[in-house]
Structure 1
Amino acid sequence: MHWTTDQITPSVGRVVVTRTRSPIRSNVGLKAVMAVTGIVLVLFLIAHMLGNLKIFTGAVSFNHYAEWLRELGAPLLPGVWALWILRIGLVVAVVAHIWAATTLAVRARAARPVRYAHRSKVQGSYAARTMRWGGVIILLFVIYHILDLTTGTLNPVGDPTRPYANVVADFAPERWYVTLFYTLAIVTIGFHLRHGVFSALRSLGQQTPRGERRARAVALVFAVALCAGYLVVPFAVLTGLVS
């Protein structure tokens, strides 16, 4: 927080202390943080989904892909440093996204006039009303996902040299609760994507009735496609298609 003391009231000759927020904590700055982190997360989700789908090419191909990821950045960076930098960056992006969204929501609520008893409640979309708690679910999912399929701490196999076996063991029929939690998290991400992509398209000028319908359709198709791309893997293991 920056303090300024250069405003003086002429009539009383006293110093008036005002508070100004840093640019990043202003509403514009917070929206910029949401936009940048949102783009980063969407790009990651697309790349990660495409990588996951390689499991349908077989164990050898999938394990080779995982090995390539572990060697990313070599020889500039030793070991799996590059991969861990990406993982830490992902967690930071998720936390920053939630922080910016929550701060903006609190400020918006505080700026509303006092509600009267006769005032009707404004109903938003399901995605808009669940963005806050949905963000917490996604954050917990990211943490669990790292402990499960990255470090292997919570995985039945937990062998970094056998990623194909890790995935198959993770979504085995007897671990249905893992698949259920994974599905819940992915569907929540889908609602976030639908709401976020729609809002982004409206901000880019799609504000006419026809433009809004087009934006809603694009956002829905994108969210459904991404969710399907993620969910097809655990359900393929669950049904025995991948084993």
Structure 2
Amino acid sequence: MATTTRPQLVKGSRAARTTIALKILMAVSGLLFIAFVLGHMYGNLKAFSGEESFNEYAHHLRDLGEPMLPHEGFLWIMRVGLIVALLAHVGAAVALWKRAAKARPVKYVAKKNVGSSLSSRTMRWGGLTLLVFVVWHLLNFTIVKINPSNGETGGENPYALLVETFDLWWMTIIYLVAMLALAFHLHHGTFSSLQTLGLTNSAASRARARAAGWVVAIVIAGGFSLVPLSVLVGIIEK
């Protein structure tokens, strides 16, 4: 009977240390993104307080840190930090994927994802989906402020742009699909990050990490989904 062997990383070797460093880089950058999307979700929920409250929040972000920071200084610091974290996260993910593929060059079907969750099996495709969505999301609401309802720019009224965007059923569907991908990514990513950082060394701690993954995924993806759904059914309107 033919067998295939996989090269194993020797503990303490340069390859092993590099792999551990890449995993830590992914974990830390992932946790930074969780903190960001949690704050972003809180800001989005301001839409339930009405146009004035939502726009005041959006414009306040530009003034945050003044006079110690210039106008929009805080936003640019956050943007640069997020770009660096994104490059680190994606770069580490690609490097680890290549290492895994190189360690098992022969494709075979012996046992398929036994015991793995759907969220763990969809991490790569989910991450790619989120990357594409983030580009569109930035064009829609930040960089160009494209208003898909009329093809024009959204101007300086973030609330109006939000409502007019999600008044379109297909835009809401796109957003909800992205939030489903985000939920899966957060569910496994939270557990994986805690595991990488050495916080799942017992059965009880692993159970807590899995529960944390569920809580983070449901709270953040669910919170983001409330706004477009509420716009679509008329709870949030201009």
Count, aligned residues: 218
Greater CA drift, 87-96 or 201-210: 201-210
Match of 1:222 among 194, 211, 216: 216
1:85 aligned residue: 77
**TM-score normalised over the length of structure 1:** 0.80
Q: 2:21 aligns with which of 10, 19, 29?
A: 29
User: Is residue 95 of structure 2 the alignment partner of residue 103 of structure 1?
Assistant: yes
Name the CA distance, whole Å, in 2 between partners of 1:125 and 1:146: 31
> Is the 1:37–1:97 contact (alpha carbons within 8 Å) kept by the matching residues of 2?
yes
Letter in 2 for 1:183: L
| In structure 2, distance between residues paired with 1:191 and 1:224 | 9
Judge conservation of contact 1:193–1:223 (CA < 8 Å) in 2. Answer: yes
Partner of 2:112: 121
Alpha carbons 2:27, 2:194 under 8 Å: kept: no
* Pairs within 5 Å for 1:125-204: 125-155=117-147, 156=150, 158-172=153-167, 175-203=168-196, 204=198
Instruction: Give distance in 1, aligned partners of 2:38 and 2:225.
Output: 13
Alpha-carbon contact 2:62-2:72 (below 8 Å) kept = yes
1:114 positional shift = 4.4
Are the counterparts in 2 of residues 186 and 227 from structure 1 also a CA contact under 8 Å? yes
Distance 1:116 1:162, change over 3 A: closer
CA displacement at 1:125 relative to structure 2: 2.0
Instruction: Return the letter of the residue paired with 1:84.
Output: W
Aligned residue type for 2:225 = L
The residue number in structure 2 matching 1:241 is 235
More relative contact order in 1 or in 2 (CA 8 Å, sep 6+)? 2
Contact 2:26–2:193, Cα closer than 8 Å, also in 1: no
Q: Tell me, what secondary structure is at the counterpart of 1:43?
A: helix
Deviations 1:113-156 (CA, angstroms, capped at 9, x unpaired): 74666x33344322122111211111111111111111344225
SS in 2 for 1:226: helix
The unaligned stretches of length 5 or more in structure 2 are: 1-13
Indicate the SS of the match to 2:236.
Answer: coil
Pairwise CA distance, 1:57: 0.8
1:69-111 deviations in Å (ceiling 9; x for gaps): 1112323443324313322432332232122112112212322
RMSD: 2.4
Structure 1: distance between partners of 2:135 and 2:77: 15
Deviation of the 1:168 alpha carbon: 0.4
The two structures have a TM-score, normalised by structure 2, of 0.81
SS of residue in 1 equivalent to 2:26: helix
Q: Quick check: 84-93 or 229-238, which moved more?
A: 84-93
* 1:41 aligned partner: 33
Query: Is contact 1:151–1:158 with CA below 8 Å preserved after alignment?
Result: no
Identical columns (%): 42
Amino acid at match of 1:120: K
Aligned-pair CA distance for 1:33: 1.4
More strand by share: 1
Q: 1:77 to 1:206 in 2, by over 3 A?
A: closer
User: What is the DSSP-based 3-state SS (H/G/I as helix, E as strand, rest coil) of the residue aligned with 1:121?
Assistant: coil
